[in-house]
Chains A and B, each alone.
Chain A
């Protein structure tokens, strides 16, 4: 079976291609369609599944993973692309989180893994919000904008009933699969006007509370892995971000209500 080359994709300035065989090629291209860029790719990933055996993921000439679990290979590929994005962030301050655009204004959703930020981002996009990123929020202090890195949104099992997620290819969809990926078109860079710290507890319903800007800044710093690299300037940039933003803590029990509350924080009408 021969690997088929795919277009180049971008991740915060890094460029890469992903070649795959069989149904992998089209599937991966769909997932990263929002990241397509013109020009050559600096890094080449390849996913091969010869004769329904082990699936192999390589980066250039290096084998990264070879196993029978296609979902694990896909998870690893997404992780590797994220790592490219982290390394290419440059002057941007990178935060663990998601970001969407509502009415031309960016909303930053920051929280620990499992807090529901990806689910909330996907639900907001399904209601018409623009998509900037999931997992990595790239804030550029020079422009004051959140830049797009429209990777496929990672959705864990618990969110599948809440957000329509397409079934992956058969090589990925097994009972062991814990994450589905949702491709969403990219919005343009936008100025952040709201910082939302989500949590999820369906048993307790939805609740919103104002968040002190000092608490919001501490939270953002806690989700900025490489803030030390940016030094005082990066810290001041995050300070300026929260100073201009509406900051809320949101317990998203009911996803519809939660989406309306996020829209309100962005100064937009309910969906």
Chain B
């Protein structure tokens, strides 16, 4: 589980569209589509919240699912 306060990766630009988000890696041109849950996580990744805090905020009943999602974003380098 990621316990530190989360920040967005460097060199990323994002656009939110109809509740979903698309993240663009400026250096490589790679893009990532985030569904509504991913976009909700993305909005809360601002350097002030931990993964647990974000997970509890989005899904109080099943925070582990959200933490797993966050771990995937970390693996992708979108979140640190």
Contacts and interface: CB of A to CB of B under 8 A. Distances in A.
A228 B31 contact: no
B22 A228 contact: no
Given A221-B22, A227-B29, 19 more contacts: A212-B20, A214-B18, A217-B15, A217-B17, A217-B33, A218-B22, A218-B33, A221-B24, A221-B31, A222-B31, A224-B29, A228-B27, A228-B28, A235-B26, A235-B31, A239-B15, A239-B17, A239-B22, A243-B17
Contact of B26 (A212, A217, A224, A231): A231
Chain A, interface SS category: helix
B65 interface: no
B13 interface: yes
Contacts of A236: 13, 15
Given A218-B33, A228-B29, A235 B24 contact: yes
B3 to A, nearest CB: 30
A215 to B, nearest CB: 7
Interface in A203-236: 212-215, 217-218, 221-222, 224, 227-228, 231-232, 235-236
Contacts of B15: 217, 235-236, 239, 243
Contacts of A243: 15, 17
- Indicate the size class of the contact surface on chain A: 10 to 19
Interface string A132-172: 00000000000000000000000000000000000000000
Interface of A: 212-215, 217-218, 221-222, 224, 227-228, 231-232, 235-236, 239, 242-243
Nearest to B36: A214
A239 B31 CA distance: 12
B70 interface: no
A215 B17 CA distance: 10
Interface in B1-31: 13, 15, 17-18, 20-22, 24, 26-29, 31
B22 A212 contact: no
A242 B17 contact: yes
Contacts of A222: 31
Contacts of B29: 221, 224, 227-228
30 contacts: A213-B18, A213-B20, A214-B17, A214-B18, A214-B20, A214-B21, A214-B33, A215-B33, A217-B15, A217-B22, A217-B31, A217-B33, A218-B22, A218-B31, A221-B22, A221-B31, A224-B29, A227-B24, A228-B26, A228-B27, A228-B28, A228-B29, A231-B13, A232-B13, A235-B15, A235-B26, A236-B13, A236-B15, A239-B17, A243-B15
Contacts of A228: 26-29
A146 to B, nearest CB: 19
A217 B18 CA distance: 12
Contacts of B33: 214-215, 217-218
A221 B33 CA distance: 11
A201 B27 CA distance: 37
B8 to A, nearest CB: 13
Nearest to A222: B31
Residue with the greatest number of chain B CB neighbours at <10 A, chosen from A214, A236, A242: A214
A193 to B, nearest CB: 16
A212 B28 CA distance: 24
A214 B37 CA distance: 14
